[in-house]
Structure 1
Amino acid sequence: MAGTVIDCVGWKLHVPFGMDIELSTAASHARSKSMFDTDPIPIEITPDGHRVAYLDVRELRYLAKDLRSGFTRPITPRLTPEEIVAITSVASSADSRHFAVSTRENRRTFVTDFETGRTRTLNQVCWAYGLTGDSLMGSAGCDGRDVSIDAIRFDGTATRFRSEEERPHDMSADLRWYIDFGEPTSVYETATGRRVRVLPSELSEFQWAGADTLVAREADIEDEGDYIAIDARTGELISTGIPYSDSIVFGKVR
């Protein structure tokens, strides 16, 4: 592909309680020919664990695959080399129906309904943090700093959510909650800004793995140990049996 080098192809999804899933045509790293270092190309596993979105090296577009039926649907048009190396985020809705793929190139986000195949293009949206059936949380800021986060409806109207010095690290798939990594690390309600849960200080690397579930690892253990699931509603801690990895994407874990 002119101007872009895809250095690594193929993802294997290790499933703790079933057979591994091979995505043999999924690109995992790409770079511009003028650059030496490669950047990872994100994939997205839906919160219910039923679908996965990835950049296909044959079609040069993002595809979403239903892991139960095997049905695959394009969720972006064919991407240019400039768009591929500038991908910022891939997000999915809590019900696994809607996907959003964002790129710095021309500050565009493609939003697709998996059931109907309809794709919308949202201009001046460089990053998507999460989405529902009719809107997404996104930002025009591309570098991750000094960003204003907006609730953007698919008809193009937008409402300011809040201004941030840095992009939010994680919002729940249904956009109800977000994590604030201050002291202490806590879960907040998106609609009101109310803190609903203080997360355990002995855990680190929090991320969402379902609409109501976070995963984390013990802060004082390096490169080993299993991930721990936290129920965001009750605070209950549950062992997942999933070992730590520096390259991991979570869908539903319990």
Structure 2
Amino acid sequence: MRRYTGYRDFIQRDQRLLVGTALLLTGSHDQAIRLTLGSLRSVGLSWPPTLWENPTVHAQITMYRRYLRRPVTTRATALLRLPPLRRVLVVACLHDGRTHEEMATALGLSQEVVETEVSEAVTALAKGDAKRLGTRLATTAGEASVPDLATRSMRALRRRRVRGAVLTAVAGLVPVGLIAAFTLQQGQVWNSALGERNQIASTRADSAVGPGPQAWQTPRTSFTIRYAVPDKCPDDGASTDGKPAPSRAGKVTCAGWTLKLTGGDEGRPALESVECERPGHCESTVKVPDAAQHLAHGDDWSYWRLTPAISGDGRRIAYLSAAEGRYVAHDLHSGEKRYLSPSLVPADTETGTGVSVSRDGGVFVVELSGRRLRTDFATGAVTSLPEGRTAAEKSADWMRENYRVWSDSPSGRFSAAVSPGKGGSDRLHVIDARTRKVFRDLPLPSLGDPTSAEVLGWPNVREVVVKLTDKRTGDLLGFFRVDAITGRLHRVAGLPDGETIVLGDLTGP
């Protein structure tokens, strides 16, 4: 039942809201429970939700439709005396927060019809006071008696899977021609609560990401991600001319990242190998085989370098999956997985692509050739961000002209980069992204001889992690957390020496 990861949590989180809506429609607690269970089963059959679906909205839209097919009421209140369509629309718009346009699309009505029905309902029930009616609806919905529906819903899905397996075996005996007569039109698939059909590629060759490794299965553990490093690419130095063979634009040519996890004794059972330095201070290494590193573009050997995004608390990671052809995010503590983008096509990556995450891991943003998709991990809601660039994005060209490498702070207000100092050792510059002026010019330790520095990232809104090497010999001198305001340094132990490292939670054991 790994497919249904997160489904039980969704039910337990939203069952009170859904039963309250059903109670407004039916007037009966028993009928409300039956209507809610039917809607939850519909969500479960298409679980996990696709990019464009919010499972709560899916359940609500299904509930409206199921009720309109068989409207049942048990009490003669003013609300329940309304015609079924008018009752559904006023509950959806004033209680559930659906817009007139959404309901017109969901029920196949014109927007004018929706507006008229809602207006007449408000007039009849609250003399035109929509706010007062909304408060009354919320009060009535709050009276719903809500048992735990998660177990019943999961049991219904298991029974459905068993029946489905039997029917599949029987269907194998039916001539293929008879089956084809009842299938959907080739190249289309139903995947939306609103009944939308999304076109899918007729062949895998049309997808941006070609066949690759298996999709990663998240180990459910209390350990957190300390850092991620890329695996060695098969084509690195393997070809006769020193270059990888040219490949189709939009295809992942190299995938695989290794995570270093840290935690206490309680998170060990979910991991294959754990080493404990002492009780409560354990480490584990986990491979993510489908996390993309290189994404080809253009007609030659050019490719984008891709890195995963790790939340500051180390619980969540997002990346472009070479196995699924889309961006995905995983939560290690719950084992939950979210899709952050649709399946990519070459046009999505022509001018670059990437993923970022908020400091707390609550919000992920995917860049797709100029457009941006924002995903709320808790709800799965996806929205397109308006056009426009942040201060850090606007200053990128100026940063590129003045610094070789830099890193933007989690807030986007500042950038950190290194600059040669007078004594031979590099210094840390903290730049105001809006004014493009050096906000802080901080010295870095020379440790005796001139040192070179490299900015690795911001573990929080105030500190920058830098890597120091001996400028003459190239030997690693260590990693340090630098306070971007005071310049105070703290050594960071346990980070590997490599060209690329993505930081996670540096506060763990």
- Structures share fold, TM-score greater than 0.5: yes
Q: 1:6 aligns with which of 231, 252, 265?
A: 252
Give, in angstroms, the shift of residue 62 of structure 1: 0.7
Which stretch of the first structure deviates more once superposed, 221-230 or 21-30? Answer: 221-230
Aligned partners of 2:418 and 2:454 also within 8 Å: no
Contact kept? 2:418, 2:453, Cα under 8 Å: no
Aligned to 2:412: 175
3-state DSSP of counterpart to 2:348: helix
Structure 2 CA distance, aligned partners of 1:93 and 1:81?
27
After superposition, where does 1:52-131 map in structure 2 within 5 Å? 52-84=317-349, 86-104=351-369, 107-122=370-385, 124=387
Change (3 A) 1:181 1:102: same
Deviations 1:100-144 (A, max 9, x none): 12133xx2111211112122223545xx7xxxxxxx556479xx5
The CA RMSD measured in Å over matched residues stands at 3.3
Question: Which residue does 1:230 correspond to in 2?
Answer: 482
> Bigger radius of gyration, 1 or 2?
2
> For residue 131 of structure 1, what is the aligned residue in structure 2?
none
Q: 1:200 to 1:146 in 2, by over 3 A?
A: closer
- The one-letter code of the counterpart of 2:355 is V
**Does 2:501 correspond to 1:248?**
yes
The one-letter code matched in structure 2 to 1:111 is R
Higher helix content, 1 or 2 = 2
Q: CA deviation at 1:215?
A: 1.0
Report the secondary structure of 1:82's partner residue. Answer: helix
2:452 is the alignment partner of 1:185: no
Q: Report the Cα offset of residue 178 of structure 1.
A: 2.6
Aligned partners of 1:223 and 1:57: how far apart in 2?
35
Q: CA deviation at 1:175?
A: 3.2
Cα distance change on mapping 1:74 and 1:215 into 2, 3 Å: same
Partner SS, residue 83 of structure 1: helix
Shift of 1:18: 1.8
Letter in structure 2 aligned against 1:226? G
Q: Match of 2:454?
A: 205
Q: Hey, what's the Cα distance between the residues in 2 that align with 1:205 and 1:34? A: 32
- Following the alignment from structure 2 to structure 1, what is the Cα–Cα distance between the partners of residues 290 and 490? 34
* Residue of structure 1 equivalent to 2:310: 45
**Partners of 2:359 and 2:308 in 1: CA distance:** 16
**Deviation for aligned residue 1:97:** 0.9
Q: Which has the higher strand share?
A: 1
Cα pair 2:252 2:292 within 8 Å, conserved: yes
* Unaligned stretches of 5+ residues in structure 1: 129-135, 148-163
3-state SS of 1:18 partner:
strand
State the SS of the aligned residue for 2:355.
strand
How many residues of Structure 1 are paired with residues of Structure 2 in the alignment? 225
TM, length-normalised to structure 2: 0.39
Q: Look up the SS of the partner of 1:39 in the other structure.
A: strand
Greater CA deviation, 200-209 or 40-49?
A: 200-209
The 1:8/1:188 distance shift into structure 2, 3 A limit, reads closer
2:317–2:330 CA contact under 8 A, matched in 1: yes
- What do the CA deviations read for 1:60-86 (whole angstroms, capped 9, x no partner)? 111111122221111122221232454
* CA contact 2:469–2:477 (8 Å) conserved in 1: no
Amino acid at match of 1:213: E
> CA, structure 1 residues 116+37, in 2 after alignment: closer, same or farther (shift >3 Å)?
same
